[in-house]
Amino acid sequence: MATNVLMPKMGYDMTEGKILRWLKQEGDAVTKGEPIAEIQTDKVNIEIEAFAGGVLARILHGADEDVPVGEVIGIIAEPGEKVEVPAGSAGKRTAAETGVIGGTMNEAGSGEGGEAVAFEAGAGSGAKAHATVAPGACIEEPSRVAQANADARQAAAGAQAPVRGEGERVKASPLAKKIAADQGVPLAEVPGTGPGGRIVKRDVEGYKPVAQPAAFVPTAAVTEVPLTRMRQAIARRLSESKQTAPHFYVTKAIDMTEALAFRAQVNQTLTGAQKVSVNDMVIKAVAKALKAFPNVNASWAEDKIVQHDRISVGMAVALPEGLVVPVINDAYGKTLSQIAETAKDLASRAKENRLRPDEFSGGTCTVSNLGMFDVESFTAIINPPESAILAVGSTIKEPVVRNDEVVVRSMMRITISSDHRVIDGALAAQFLGEVKRLLESPLLLVV
Amino acid sequence: MSQYDVVVIGAGPGGYVTAIRAAQLGLKTAVIEDSKIAGLGGVCNQWGCIPSKAVLKNATVLHTIKHADKFGIAVEGVTADYSKAIDRSKKIVDTQAKGVGFLFRKNKIDLIEERGRLAGKGKIKLEPSGKEITAKHIILATGSRPRVFFDMKADGKVVFTAKEFLSMRDLPASMIVLGAGAIGMEFAYVLQNYGCQVTIIEMADRLLPKEDPEISAEIEKAFKKLGVKFHTQCKVEKVDQKADGVTVHVTMADGSKQTFEAPRLLSATGITPNSQNLGLEETGVKTSPQGFVEVDEWMRTSVTGIYAIGDVTGKFPLAHVASAQGIACIEKIAGHHPQPLDYGKMPSATYCEPQVASIGLTEPDAKAKGYDVKVGKFPFRPNGKAQGIGEIDGFIKFVVDAKYGEILGIHMVGPEVTEILGEASLAMNLEATAEEVDVTVHAHPTLSEVFKEAALAAVGQPIHM
């Protein structure tokens, strides 16, 4: 019996993956568990293993193709089995989702009908099936359509002054409104050049959707850098986060003198990977504070707020081509030295592109540390669907006042970025206060 | 040496308005105007828009009195002294000029009563005093003057332009009017009503050739009724200007030769820019072959710091366009964000009776531009107010794009249509479509109901037809 090989979903926000190369060719025998293809996701390169043994009967998407999650990329069959190239799961998937997607497309203002994906069945063996997509066809997932619009908004905002503030009335001439309605131009996204920013005919006629900002014309003096999947993911996800989550920021200066002394003391007895870093202590403190403030350990879910039982702290790891956020699962239940070991392991494997999908998903809060770059303080963008991220600066010796005396202490600033839909100012301040309390009395981290 | 932020050369409707706005924006401003050339308010006030409207009113009053019997009023022994009409117009001119002077003083604008000539970047030499003043921004608003062909000399005795005409205190038995544009038509209307037989000679194929052809046809009907003789598609071969009159030699539309004689002739054949003796060449300010100063959308000339507005730019030689150009120009200079002018939406008016007012594309122009044109037309005849005031000739015509009802042009001929023109301008500038005009409630009984009905005719079915 034939088994479809699907583009796997590696992480909640993965929508498509790129096939780097096939490790098997059509007709090759495969055994269950054997790697058959290598794919690239937003974050990592991974191998796809065969879920069944047999023969790789069909390859439906070749190397360098971007394939939506869940789409059939190949078929494993019994030797000699006659394989029906699926008018297949991809076609069904699209049809099944057309209703939902169509709705989204309409909201997005597209007048195009959703033409389903048509598969051209390979007539002979080895013929590669491919998808043909009508212009405006609804092959994209709803989230990506929404994202495309968000991208357009953001790009437009980048290209010129923001089109208009949230909730600001869209002023447009009657003629402009008629043309926009007729041609499906989203008026809210059209910059107005008439008196007082009013949208007039020329603005609607001159409006270019999504593509416009991308149509940057390079001059001889620029170097074009192709976007990696990771760069695309960073651009997409962080833009979305900053645009949808209302960020606000609270900073506290934390006296790390005791924590440094504590760390020096425990590291005398700990060895190797167990040695504790300042960041490990911050992660532990954050995990404990999240336990005390479950309403920070939460996510915005449009019609409700979801509080998570698990406490998993992500840590931003810089890579040459971008960054990833591996997650220390159950950071609350781990001891400091376990956190130290886990963090080192995750960081080193992240740098080698060898993280497993479950290792960079499921975080409930993130710590981003630029302390090693001599940074006093900074603000970070929330890593959705989390509601808070802590930006950790360097620990710096500073004169501070203690009991009316100026003394030298090792100070570190943490700035928490919070999603105001979930976390209010007082809550953020209290939560950060708890982190500060834990770090300033570091023995609390181990009790 | 006096230093200014802005110096405007010329105190016409472009220059004086610009200067006031400049002063309002906090710029130290001076205006140079040689009263021997025009005086405050420029041609518009001195021998253009303003005095002509005064004289035209005299003509319409006289016309009403002559036709008072239609109101059941018997008027006998009417005498009309034309010189009184001119006197009246002069008084109005003086009042208006004083008004401009008052606004200058109020806004602390220096009025320099000399001639100004560019003397390098940011410098103006005054004549005859020979003094030099400097300005960060120099705005040329020197206007235009009538263009006279056929070696005629406007002597104010036999040959007149608008300038001489508005000082002419007596009327001949007949007069030839060359040119059937707004000026020729207005003065022809005045003359004919005062009993001077007018013959209009026009090169184009109709009167008011810049208007929509249906407007021209309506106005030709009215002028015929008034007794004005007119000939179109005429090629003037030559004009003999003699001490006691003129002989105009014309090749007529049918190719025949004809001569026209009259004791006086009014030449109303367009304008030529006042761009000489300004030091433009020495300063490097580019002009067109016809002598118009070339400007960009913000009235900047080819030389930084020098701007030009109004007739001297040749864009659209009308007072209100000059003012609008000046406002846009000075606001841009002051770092504001004015809207660029849309020359396709400039209103124009002719004050004979019935009046003519229009904005935007004519029907043939719209078609030539490829629009899918729909026309909505409604006459004044069924309108209650028109009936009441006894002026039922004329109509309003909307030229709209069929797809969205976009208003491409509005053309009006009839009673007081120049006062309805503001609504037309507003509608076009706000990009109202014919539909918005239609759903706008117009007071009853007013002439403006015709405006609404014409819009409705363009997008549906008018009510009162």
Contacts of B308 (CB under 8 A, 6+ apart): B139, B140, B141, B285, B293, B295, B299, B301
* pLDDT grade for B323, boundaries at 50, 70 and 90: very high
Secondary structure element (H or E) that encloses residue A369, with its range:
strand A365-369
* pLDDT grade for A86, boundaries at 50, 70 and 90: low
Residue B403 Cα, gap to closest chain A Cα (Å): 9
Residue of B nearest to A179 (CA): B404
Contact between chains at B433 and A178 (C-beta distance less than 8 A): yes
Contact between chains at A174 and B435 (C-beta distance less than 8 A): yes
B385 in Cβ contact with B419 (< 8 Å): no
In a mutational test of the B interface, the residue from A171, A178, A185 whose CB has the highest number of chain B CBs within 10 Å is: A178
Contact between chains at B435 and A173 (C-beta distance less than 8 A): no
Residues of A in contact with B339 (CB under 8 A): 194-195
> Where does A171-323 have alpha helices with state H?
174-183, 201-206, 211-214, 229-244, 257-269, 278-292
Q: Is residue A274 classed as helix, strand or coil in its secondary structure?
A: helix
- Is A202 in CB contact (< 8 Å) with chain B? no
Residue of B nearest to A202 (CA): B431
Say whether pLDDT at A135 is over 60: no
Closest CA to A150 of A85, A227, A245, A72: A245
Give me the pLDDT at residue B445, please: 96
* pLDDT grade for A141, boundaries at 50, 70 and 90: very low
Residues of B in contact with A195 (CB under 8 A): 339
Residues of B in contact with A176 (CB under 8 A): 431
Give me the pLDDT at residue A350, please: 87
Residue of A nearest to B433 (CA): A175
Give me the pLDDT at residue A85, please: 65
Contact between chains at B432 and A175 (C-beta distance less than 8 A): yes
In this predicted model, which residue has the larger pLDDT, A393 or A162?
A393
- Condensed to tens digits (0 to 9), the pLDDT of residues A313-323 reads 999 998 888 88
Contact between chains at B404 and A175 (C-beta distance less than 8 A): yes
Distance CA A149, CA A400 (A): 49
Distance CA B445, CA B385 (A): 5
In this predicted model, which residue has the larger pLDDT, A89 or B103?
B103
> Where does A82-141 have alpha helices with state H?
89-107
- Condensed to tens digits (0 to 9), the pLDDT of residues A358-403 reads 888 889 999 999 999 999 999 999 999 999 999 999 999 999 999 9
Residue in the block written with tokens 């976007």: A227
Say whether pLDDT at A51 is over 90: no
A295 in Cβ contact with A288 (< 8 Å): no
In a mutational test of the A interface, the residue from B345, B404, B406, B438 whose CB has the highest number of chain A CBs within 10 Å is: B404
- Is B433 in CB contact (< 8 Å) with chain A? yes
Contact between chains at B404 and A173 (C-beta distance less than 8 A): no
- Is A173 in CB contact (< 8 Å) with chain B? yes
Residue B25 Cα, gap to closest chain A Cα (Å): 19
Residues of A in contact with B404 (CB under 8 A): 175, 178-179, 182
Which of A61, A130, A247, A420 is labelled catalytic? Answer: A420
Residue of A nearest to B426 (CA): A173
In this predicted model, which residue has the larger pLDDT, A218 or B303?
B303
B28 in Cβ contact with B4 (< 8 Å): yes
Instruction: Give catalytic status of residue A61 as yes or no.
Output: no
- Is B435 in CB contact (< 8 Å) with chain A? yes
Query: Starting at the edge strand that comes first in sequence, how are the strands of the sheet with A29-30 ordered?
Result: A3-6, A72-77, A54-59, A29-30
Chain A, residues 363-392, CB within 8 A of chain B, namely none
Please state, in angstroms and as integers, the Cα–Cα distance from residue B237 to each residue in B149, B247, B251, B259, B271, following that order. 11, 11, 7, 10, 20
Mean residue pLDDT of chain B comes to: 95
Give me the pLDDT at residue B393, please: 96
State mean pLDDT over A296-306: 92
Instruction: Please count the residue pairs, one from chain A and one from chain B, whose beta carbons lie less than 8 angstroms apart.
Output: 27
- Condensed to tens digits (0 to 9), the pLDDT of residues B404-414 reads 999 999 999 99
Residue A411 Cα, gap to closest chain B Cα (Å): 48
Residues of B in contact with A201 (CB under 8 A): 406, 431
B423 in Cβ contact with B407 (< 8 Å): no
Q: Is residue B294 classed as helix, strand or coil in its secondary structure?
A: coil
Chain A, residues 224-283, CB within 8 A of chain B, namely none
Residue B249 Cα, gap to closest chain A Cα (Å): 50
**Torsion on CA atoms A61, A67, A69, A73, rounded to nearest 10:** 0
- Condensed to tens digits (0 to 9), the pLDDT of residues A65-81 reads 888 888 888 888 887 77
In this predicted model, which residue has the larger pLDDT, B252 or A35?
B252
Q: Which two tokens stand for residue A49?
A: 């293993």
* pLDDT grade for A217, boundaries at 50, 70 and 90: low
Contact between chains at B406 and A182 (C-beta distance less than 8 A): no
Lowest mean pLDDT among A223-232, A241-250, A284-293, B454-463: A223-232
* pLDDT grade for A168, boundaries at 50, 70 and 90: confident
Residues of B in contact with A200 (CB under 8 A): 431
- Is B436 in CB contact (< 8 Å) with chain A? yes
Q: Count Cβ atoms below 10 Å from residue A18 Cβ, excluding itself.
A: 19
- Is B406 in CB contact (< 8 Å) with chain A? yes
State mean pLDDT over B387-391: 95
State mean pLDDT over B275-287: 95
- Is A174 in CB contact (< 8 Å) with chain B? yes
State mean pLDDT over B332-358: 95
* pLDDT grade for B279, boundaries at 50, 70 and 90: very high
Backbone angles phi, psi at B102, to 5 degrees: -60, -45
Q: What is the DSSP track for B116-134?
A: EEE-STTEEEEETT--EEE
Whole-model pTM above 0.90?
no
Amino acid of residue B303: V
Residues comprising chain A, all counted: 447
Q: Which two tokens stand for residue B11?
A: 């105190």
Bond preceding residue A186 cis, omega within 30 of 0: no
Residues of A in contact with B436 (CB under 8 A): 174
Q: Count Cβ atoms below 10 Å from residue B190 Cβ, excluding itself.
A: 25
Q: Is residue B181 classed as helix, strand or coil in its secondary structure?
A: coil
Distance CA B383, CA B378 (A): 10
Residues of A in contact with B328 (CB under 8 A): none
Distance CA B445, CA B460 (A): 22
Which of B67, B336, B444, B464 is labelled catalytic? Answer: B444
State mean pLDDT over B99-119: 95
- Is A175 in CB contact (< 8 Å) with chain B? yes
Residue in the block written with tokens 């209009």: B200
Give me the pLDDT at residue B170, please: 95
Residue B367 Cα, gap to closest chain A Cα (Å): 20
- Is B425 in CB contact (< 8 Å) with chain A? no
Lowest mean pLDDT among A338-342, A367-371, B4-8, B459-463: B459-463
Residues of A in contact with B432 (CB under 8 A): 173-175
Residue of B nearest to A171 (CA): B430
Residues of B in contact with A179 (CB under 8 A): 404
Residue A187 Cα, gap to closest chain B Cα (Å): 16
Q: Which two tokens stand for residue B85?
A: 């009409």
Give me the pLDDT at residue A358, please: 80
State mean pLDDT over A5-14: 76
Distance CA A387, CA A286 (A): 13
Distance CA B239, CA A135 (A): 69
DSSP code at position A9? P
Say whether pLDDT at A48 is over 90: no
Of B339, B406, B436, the CB nearest to A195: B339
Residue B430 Cα, gap to closest chain A Cα (Å): 6
Query: Starting at the edge strand that comes first in sequence, how are the strands of the sheet with A405-419 ordered?
Result: A247-255, A405-419, A388-402, A365-369, A313-315, A327-328
Contacts of A141 (CB under 8 A, 6+ apart): A15, A68, A97, A101
Give me the pLDDT at residue A34, please: 84
For chain B, report the end-to-end CA distance as a whole number of angstroms.
69
Contacts of B372 (CB under 8 A, 6+ apart): B401, B402, B403
Say whether pLDDT at B207 is over 70: yes
Residue of B nearest to A200 (CA): B431
- Condensed to tens digits (0 to 9), the pLDDT of residues B176-195 reads 999 999 999 999 999 999 99
Contact between chains at B404 and A178 (C-beta distance less than 8 A): yes
Chain B, residues 236-255, CB within 8 A of chain A, namely none
Amino acid of residue B28: K
